[in-house]
Amino acid sequence: MEEILLEKHDVIPPTGFGTYGRNGKEGIDAILCALETGYRHLDTAQTYDTEFEVGEALRRSGLKRDDIFLTTKISTDNFGPDALIPSLEKSLEALKVDQVDLTLIHWPAPNGRIPLEVYLTQIAEAQVRGLTRLIGVSNFTIALLEETEALLGKGKIVNNQFELNPILQNKKLANYCQEKEILVTCYLPIARGMLSNEPVLLSIGEKYGATPEQIAIAFELAKGYAAIPTSGQPERIRSNFKASSIMLTPDEVARIETIDRNHRVVDPDWGPKWD
């Protein structure tokens, strides 16, 4: 799978390793396993409380900082005036790096209690100050993306990370993002183990000697998305990474598109009105 080119020198490896739940020594070991396996994109967040583990694993790995694409996300608790940049500086301290590659707004402000302009202007300023190379959002709807473009200008937001997998394909939002050249990153790309008995995935998997979960990731990569599976088990970490070598045919992608049933897992009552 080719890397996703945004601009010159801005490359996001499409197969990333999510670090939600990868806390403590076991978390560091899992992240180290991911790096040894070949992952070069690590996804963390202030609310995951794994920024220290990511930085420690990177240090222990012996890899160069430039070899790894680091993403973190700003907690909604840090959206207030003059709060976002200090919080990102703390994230950099925890990661032990001078700059992250991508910083996302993790969620729109719950129930819209803080105006979009307040925190978007701060994340744009963080980029100007060199704390992050790129900026993006997570869990943003089409309406919120349109507001964001009106505030920041076209092309500033390079990524929207949201729940997407074969049983929640979010086609309207994903298509909009691709039309706007905003990279889609899929979280819960294997739907927390709910794909094991999907007949279409099982059938396609037989051809490739692959698991339904591997086929799910291969599908997301074939669609031009990035995917950030996670696990604490070395065998699953390696298995998920191997999905990047599976090249599905257009007919297989079309078959998987038929199993979408809008099965959403992450849906807080304070979240946005989904597309």
pLDDT of residue 3: 53
pLDDT of residue 4: 52
pLDDT of residue 8: 35
Q: For residue 127, give both structure tokens.
A: 């980029």
pLDDT of residue 259: 98
CA dihedral sign, ordered 115, 71, 211, 250: positive
How far, rounded to the nearest angstrom, does the alpha carbon of residue 10 sit from its chain's CA centroid? 16
- Tell me, yes or no, if the pTM score tops 0.85: yes
Please count the other Cβ atoms lying within 10 Å of the Cβ belonging to residue 243: 25
Regions of the chain where pLDDT drops below 70: 1-10
pLDDT of residue 245: 97
Report d(CA 125, CA 83) in Å as an integer. Answer: 12
* Catalytically active residues, by annotation: 48
CATH number for the 10-189 domain, one of 3.20.20.100, 3.40.50.720, 3.40.50.620, 3.40.50.2000? 3.20.20.100
112, β-bridge pairs = none
pLDDT of residue 170: 97
Q: Would you call 162 helix, strand, or coil by DSSP?
A: strand
- Spell out the domain ranges in the chain: 10-189
pLDDT of residue 11: 81
Which letter, b or e, does each residue of 116-143 get, where b requires 16 or more Cβ atoms within 10 Å of its Cβ? beebbebbbebbeeebbbbbbbbbbbbe
Query: Which residues fall within 8 angstroms of residue 149, CB to CB, at 6 or more apart?
Result: 156, 157, 180
How far, rounded to the nearest angstrom, does the alpha carbon of residue 171 sit from its chain's CA centroid? 17
Tens digits of per-residue pLDDT, 236-255? 999 999 999 999 999 999 99
Instruction: For 22, list phi and psi in degrees, rounded to 5.
Output: -95, 65
Tens digits of per-residue pLDDT, 27-64? 999 999 999 999 999 999 999 999 999 999 999 999 99
Q: For strands 10-12 and 4-7, give the pairing.
A: antiparallel
